[in-house]
Amino acid sequence: MDLLHASLSTILSAPLLAQQTAFLLDGATGILLGVVISCLLIATGAGQILRRQPDSSVNPAIVQAFIRRVRAWWLMTAILAVTFTIPSPVATVVLFFLISFWALREFITLTPTRLGDHRTLFWVFFVLTPAQYVLVAMGQSQYELFSILIPVYGFLFIAARIAVAGDYKRFLERIAKIQAGLYICVYSLSYAPALLYLTDWTDPEYSTKSTAGLLFYFLLIAQLSDLLHFVCSRLLGKNVIAPNINASRTWEGFFAGTGVTAVVGAMLSLTGATPFNPWQSAVMSIVIAVMGAAGSMAMSAIKRDRGVQDYGTLVEGHAGVLDRIDAICFAAPVFFHLTRYYFTTASG
């Protein structure tokens, strides 16, 4: 009876305890979220006004694309906000696991593999991908294994498993394709939720705050820089970077967009959601913007090679998950490591 009572009280008090210690949505994150929601409200309003203008000089197709984009951002913000209200970072990790899984699905679907790769793919989808996210959820104590599981053990395993399957045709090419998919869609992306588990901040004031703000800041800057590169390319663009890969991305847009992102990043640091002061935040924003642009270019190159417009082409003409996260995938590891090396004591 006593035992029952004890276990019951543990079960009942556990969620309460968790709520006190690990509630993700704190004040600073709330301010950041508020800023985003007001921006989205303005964007939605602007979209509606543009759409109702009967003889505007703006191309209606662009307005439609803009409205669709804003809608996607609303969805992303809503999902993130809901995840943050769950009093455990595990919910966010699960969310990113699902995104990874779906992105990898799109990637491998568009990448020709042979029948001999079937079992390897099964391992990649159902063992390596979940394992990576389990390690993320185990926190900083598993940092070492988390950072080498896929690029060391996973990659060796893939090569060996395909060899055992006995099909040597285009062997190197097939290994590289599966490894690239796993690396970009799973390993790189998993650094984003890993931000939640960063501890031992050098700034003692930040230690009391929720790391959800940091993740949100990162995602926001990555999405924003993507948009700013696009807008600046439209307004100022002259010299296209690589016309065969992306006809609309220009050098002028790249530099101007990155500059504006840095200014916005510096202002966002005033919300207190990050451990950065304004100029540190500006530098971080530049890094995210540059890596994001690199990610978009690299993923576009793969798309062009496969002759598709979007990764989601298979799904009723919508842009796929991978089209939305390409910038995040490339920026996440760099942002994570810079933050960990310069703003925590974990690197020793």
Partner 1 sequence: MRKGPLVGLANVRYHEGIPLVSCWGKVAEQVKFNFTGPFLAGLAKVVAGSSVRWVDSHPDTCQRIYFANHTSHIDAVIIWASLPKHCRELTKPVAAKDYWDRGWFRRYLARSLNAMLIDRENIKVHRSPVESMLKEIGDKYSAIIFPEGSRNDGTNLRDFKSGLFYLAKKRPDLELVPVYVDNMTRILPKGEYLPVPLLSRVIFGPPIWLENGEPKTDFLVRAREAVSRLRDV
| Interaction of residue 157 with partner 1, rule CB under 8 A | no
Q: How far is the CB of 126 from partner 1 (least distance, A)?
A: 8
Q: Is 98 in the site for partner 1 (CB under 8 A)?
A: no
Among 12, 61, 115, 208, binds partner 1 (CB under 8 A): 115
Handedness of CA 339, 343, 346, 348 (dihedral sign): positive
CB atoms within 10 A of CB 335: 26
Interface characters, 16-35, with partner 1 (x: CB under 8 A): --------------------
The token pair at 276 is: 């950065």
- Per CB under 8 A, 170 contacts partner 1: no
Of 118, 170, 234, 306, the residue at the interface with partner 1 (CB under 8 A) is 118
Determine if 255 is a binding residue for partner 1 (CB under 8 A).
Answer: no
Q: Pick one of 36, 43, 63, 108: the residue that binds partner 1 (CB under 8 A).
A: 108
301-320 binders of partner 1 (CB under 8 A): 314-316
Choose the binding region for partner 1 from 100-108, 213-221, 273-281, 295-303 (rule: CB under 8 A).
100-108
* Token output for 160: 């060996």
Instruction: State which residue, 123 or 171, has the beta carbon closest to partner 1.
Output: 123
Q: Record the tokens describing residue 208, joined without a space.
A: 């009391």
For partner 1, the binding residues (CB under 8 A) are 101, 105-106, 108-109, 113, 115, 118-119, 121-122, 125, 314-316
